[in-house]
Structure 1
Amino acid sequence: MVKVLDSSNFDSAIDKGVTIVDFYADWCGPCKMMGPVMENISDEVENVSVCKVNVDKANDIAARYNVMSIPTFIIFKDGNQVETFKGAMPKEMITNKLNKFIKG
């Protein structure tokens, strides 16, 4: 299940393990396409927390991580930002990126 984050729960959500955060907006077409992909990753990839942040509702978090375009995905490991990538992409590309940090 993909967890929705805001200012009240963001820092604690990314604090432990590997977490991928999808920065999105409801009006964004490519973001809508990525919704089911992120749900699949959440269901299929073990040892990863999958979260999302609505940039319209939590623009403070988007600003903190310099999110200027959406969708933007940031992978965190134990609270540290380890990779950032932008744009819609196939599930396999995202899981390959995640696997580097799960196994590493």
Structure 2
Amino acid sequence: MATRNLTLDTFEGAVNGDGIVFVDFWAAWCGPCRAFAPTFERASEQHPDIVFGKVDTEAEQQLAASFRISSIPTLMVFRDGIPVYAQPGVLPPAQLDQLIQGARDLDMDDVRRQIAERGTQPAS
């Protein structure tokens, strides 16, 4: 599956379902974003069971602001509607592969228990 462009209108539907969603916050003027794009695209092709979405922070400023994106590229990972990772910076292919495996290996019952214990709600 190739990457999908996510907008304010499509973002919530993409990340709030079951499964794993990787979101790359980027901008066309950003050199590191352009450098990371082929790695992200290759991962989307190698893992068709995972949704890979891209948010253009210039076109979707409200969406970027709602997640307090202050540095790009920023990669976020959602699993079953719960944000489980958010970090700015470019990841080399091997690190992205590790992150993908880590998202697959998460014990979501444990994640939900930890959220309940902290009394926090997942970001949406």
- Tell me the TM-score range normalised by the shorter chain: over 0.9
The equivalent of 2:11 in structure 1 is 10
Equivalences for residues 1-104 of structure 1 within 5 A: 1-16=2-17, 17-104=19-106
Q: In structure 2, what is the Cα distance between the partners aligned to 1:52 and 1:46?
A: 15
Question: Percent of aligned pairs with the same residue?
Answer: 29
Please, which runs of 5 or more residues in structure 1 have no aligned partner?
none
Q: Tell me: higher relative CO, structure 1 or 2? Use CA pairs within 8 A at least 6 residues apart.
A: 1
Q: Distance in 2 between matches of 1:61 and 1:93?
A: 26
Greater percentage in helix: 2
Query: If you compute each CA radius of gyration, which structure gives the higher value, 1 or 2?
Result: 2
Q: Deviations over 1:12-59 (max 9, x none)?
A: 011221000000000000000111111100011242111100001111
Structure 2 regions of 5+ residues with no counterpart? 107-124
- Count of paired positions: 104
Given that 1:4 and 1:51 are in contact with CA atoms closer than 8 Å, whether structure 2 keeps it comes out as yes
TM-score w.r.t. length of structure 1: 0.94
CA RMSD of aligned residues (A): 1.1
Q: Please report how far the alpha carbon of residue 90 of structure 1 lies from its aligned counterpart in structure 2 after TM superposition.
A: 0.5
Moved over 2 A (4+): none
- TM-score calculated relative to the size of structure 2: 0.79
